[in-house]
Structure 1
């Protein structure tokens, strides 16, 4: 992988930088740390807050969504009903010699990638890998395998489809390709539920939520009422979720506690799930990797307009397509490198059991392509199962514009006669009559007319069936007028993993000065940078203090985060170390400022400076932070300034 200026990306330099600047640290480090848990320092807290604020503006405010903040603790019955207790799993292998627990798909992926890379190295080809030392050691012996063209092709096809294998298939791959954990054989894959269990009170079983979605679904009736019972509409939630990962790795990319942002867009299943603003974005192109390409063992991405993708059936519906475009626009807004963004469709055997279609927004990092946003059509699954379990009316009732005339077979049991005759079996028989399908009612009507009686299957009674004569039941065709329509909405769900997005932003923003590879820069967008402006007095001369304080107060009043660096090192070094914090702008206070109240404004990426009055500088800062102007615009209208930045 390369940086935006074409240089090879150096993960070690980035990790050194974020460690020194306290972007994030292992949790409980004095006790040895805990895998998959990290603490965010002030810089990353600031970036996260700004990214979430941009997310709220881009989605919640722009799309008029209802935001919820729901409980993290979730009762057992809720997640049993949703399917998480039975299906929220990964496949785990155990190394019986060391006791190490390994995620099966990661083990297969790591070993096959190592063999392919080892084959490339043997042929003198350059291999770009940036593995952790422990992982390098574990994979070293896996690389000593000679590959012919057929085996290389097979490995590449397996890796292209790695997300779609179930436990049995992973076990077969491990056996067939003699995949080991270093020198050690591993046991066959077994299911591992990813949820953290706990209790509510003294005995009530519960979990820490693995997602924010279920609580949103359970609030559907209240949300619908809040929206004046009108469809479509959306809810949204930002909050922590928890997944007990088997073997966390890759820093912030696979953790056990993380911040999510989830949207549930409730749509009418009739009419193809169209979106009222789809016409606005239909010509936007996305880099797409569809399921058919992956099934063929390939990873070729093609650019396609979302309108064509929906029309051709590549993307299931307009609302799903609309959100894919909005996700791409959000990623561009916060500074994601668009050449390192693709949308990958889930393969048929990879999709959740309820999903009609699902796409992942993946970002390219030094760890490979990483899923950062999932966008799924969850159909009506969640509302349906919760309504069935609880009896809550998680549906839409609306008056039809025109009454609907429905011709149907009606079966009516004479309760006055059936009650005394069947006694305790009466309710079961009545329920069996009500449950008859239209097809069965038509068939039984012919039997009733021909034989004067019918035989009805009733598994709940001891006899298993019952005979009903003409005087007990009537089956006839009739017209029913329906003025009200009832339906369970379908749900389109974009689900964001903010931690993964933040880490990808760190990599996408990182580069070094062409003339000094030791000078690291993080080129954050001004809108998400933790500090927008560095205030730099030229020296420790106390005459600068009133001007610095005044600028600091005025920037604060404008809602712009500023930091003062009045340390004794050179002004160039002060700017340099704050370039590594991602601070986009710098204002220098010098002796000329004392004379005429003019100041210099410096751009982080170009290091170019302009000089103007206090009012003009503050206006330029405001425009840049709120993206009303670019640095090129500022340079074009304010006088250039040379000098002062001395290492």
Structure 2
């Protein structure tokens, strides 16, 4: 486990304390809890809902507004043919194994990872290398595979590390082979497990009173973008490139959801589909991110059994073809900027490239933004180059043209063979089949038309259409070579897709933000950045006397008018306890109204992490705290604007 040090006086990170805080303060909780709950389903409480809403607001500002994206809100329920065409019905699956005696279901790759990591941890413990042994009580609470101090052969250690480095690249049969070769059993029972089988992750449903239309709950929002491509392109005045964006619920029937919000069955996604010319995947703003440094774990490194990252600028990564193109590289940088802005620890963020076997069926290159937390590295954002797959398959299935058209500055002049139909003779000879025959001939390649021309010169040719064969002669058509002037280029756009799992990001952000003061380890602190903190400012009147009421109302109203969300805590507990309670909620600033406030119209401003306090007149303090919340100044700037509070201004 990696210790989190968001403050130099912080107590080492304790996940048990964080979980207790999140549960006690109702950031989120198991859904249907009083009915026993259902694994993988969670409800968000007031602070969790506000935190998610603020993350979404920042995501919308960072991407939709700054990048001028077109926002969509498409339906969750989706007819089955859509996912049959997209490939999800056949391919959207994970490998599962079953306990051969109890029938318990486990996800195969997660089982291999948990068992091998536990054995490696036991090896380190046996060698005296374990830096932070896990207490037995903590093992039980976390429900992890039990670690036993057993020294492994160096060869076995190397094999385990090699398997873990490329775990995502294994097929189901290969995972089964690993389970047999290394005697991997169900850690809860010790029983052997079955051969891996594929399990489709989509929730099946039906549409209509008699279920006549089979459907699915969407596992991603992407298909709603692609099916509306023509309308989006028209809305964008036919211009390419452009991007659409969607924030909404998705559903995946996870095999064995665990680890809280990190693996759930219903979650909020934020997805972008950026449409580009396949012949030009440059990005007009690439120069702005060229020097952004990324921690990259390339597929070649993983294939060699290693997990060391390479620190490389986006510009170098694209120039060296580590990252496929400028647009994909641009979004990797923008994803990193977003994650760091909302409070993710930069030292615990990396981008891992998908290996060949784990690559989605639609992708040509894909990188996951993985963030380290108490469970290890977790994928939180996927950035894929989906090429033209989606638009092509939906167009082929429906017959609806999903293409872009570009006016050429210099027309392309070429010669090619063209079929010329004698429509009068066609109609007389073939009747209702005329259209199908003409469509078939028009679809011939240059080589096919040349062959047809030769056969017609010999007298006749036979064409198959509508499941029948027809004899054509030169009375029906001729093949002529013509000069074609092309002024419009028609192409199917490629798609670059950044896809965010907001629940995972939210939880890991809470881990990265959590710490306890050395002098008060029972009280946790969430050092959430002001832009995403559920409550920005706590107003604390020193007394419940009526004389404080007008000031409390005035300060609260002025903050609301400035767009700053605040809460009032006028309970009878001490100011210290009131601040401590709100440190747990991540509230970054506190305003104290004391007796001097009534007489002098002064007010103190407290900062959550340092507990430092400043003082000034009410309007001046409100102005400073508004700038702090909006991010236009930092606490160090506020300290230059307002004097430090020395604790003697209060008047009895």
Q: TM-score range by the shorter chain?
A: over 0.9
TM-score by length of 2: 0.92
CA distance in 2, matches of 1:532, 1:458: 72
* Equivalence for 1:488: 492
1:269-326 residue CA offsets vs partner (Å, 9 max, x unmatched): 122x111111121111111111111111111111111111111111111111111111
Matches within 5 A, 1:518-597: 518-597=522-601
CA distance in 2, matches of 1:73, 1:290: 36
* Among candidates 214, 221, 230, match of residue 223 of structure 2: 214
* Among candidates 299, 318, 321, match of residue 326 of structure 2: 318
* Equivalence for 1:180: 185
Shift of the 644–199 alpha-carbon distance from structure 1 to 2, 3 Å rule, reads farther
1:342-391 residue CA offsets vs partner (Å, 9 max, x unmatched): 11111122111221211111111111111111111111111111111122
* C-alpha RMSD over aligned residues: 2.6
Contact 1:428 1:461 in 2 (8 A): no
Contact 1:116 1:143 in 2 (8 A): no
* Among candidates 202, 210, 228, match of residue 195 of structure 1: 202
SS of aligned partner of 1:491: strand
Shift of the 572–96 alpha-carbon distance from structure 1 to 2, 3 Å rule, reads same
* Equivalence for 2:337: 329
* Equivalence for 1:503: 507
CA distance in 1, matches of 2:461, 2:110: 57
CA distance in 2, matches of 1:440, 1:392: 25
More deviation in 389-398 or 454-463? 454-463
More deviation in 348-357 or 512-521? 512-521
Contact 1:413 1:433 in 2 (8 A): no
CA distance in 2, matches of 1:238, 1:11: 30
* Equivalence for 1:366: 374
**What is the Cα deviation at residue 69 of structure 1?**
1.1
Shift of the 381–89 alpha-carbon distance from structure 1 to 2, 3 Å rule, reads same
1:405-424 residue CA offsets vs partner (Å, 9 max, x unmatched): 12223355666667777789
* Equivalence for 1:149: 154
More deviation in 242-251 or 180-189? 180-189
**What is the Cα deviation at residue 426 of structure 1?**
6.8
**What is the Cα deviation at residue 402 of structure 1?**
2.4
* Among candidates 413, 417, 422, match of residue 409 of structure 1: 417
SS of aligned partner of 1:478: strand
* Equivalence for 1:232: 241
Contact 2:126 2:149 in 1 (8 A): no
CA distance in 2, matches of 1:380, 1:595: 69
1:466-518 residue CA offsets vs partner (Å, 9 max, x unmatched): 88666766445432112222211111111111100100110010111133333
* Equivalence for 2:265: 256
**How many corresponding residue pairs?**
640
* Among candidates 623, 627, 633, match of residue 631 of structure 2: 627
Shift of the 268–225 alpha-carbon distance from structure 1 to 2, 3 Å rule, reads same
1:572-623 residue CA offsets vs partner (Å, 9 max, x unmatched): 1111121111000011111111110001100001111011000110001100
1:641 aligns with 2:645: yes
SS of aligned partner of 2:387: coil
CA distance in 2, matches of 1:151, 1:426: 70
TM-score by length of 1: 0.93
Shift of the 568–212 alpha-carbon distance from structure 1 to 2, 3 Å rule, reads same
The answer for unaligned runs of 5 or more in structure 1 is none
Contact 1:428 1:458 in 2 (8 A): no
* Equivalence for 1:307: 315
CA distance in 2, matches of 1:468, 1:148: 76
* Equivalence for 1:120: 124
* Among candidates 354, 357, 371, match of residue 349 of structure 1: 357
SS of aligned partner of 2:282: coil
**What is the Cα deviation at residue 33 of structure 1?**
1.3
* Among candidates 79, 91, 94, match of residue 90 of structure 1: 94
* Equivalence for 1:101: 105
Shift of the 303–418 alpha-carbon distance from structure 1 to 2, 3 Å rule, reads same
SS of aligned partner of 1:553: helix
The answer for unaligned runs of 5 or more in structure 2 is none
Contact 1:275 1:319 in 2 (8 A): yes
CA distance in 1, matches of 2:440, 2:460: 13
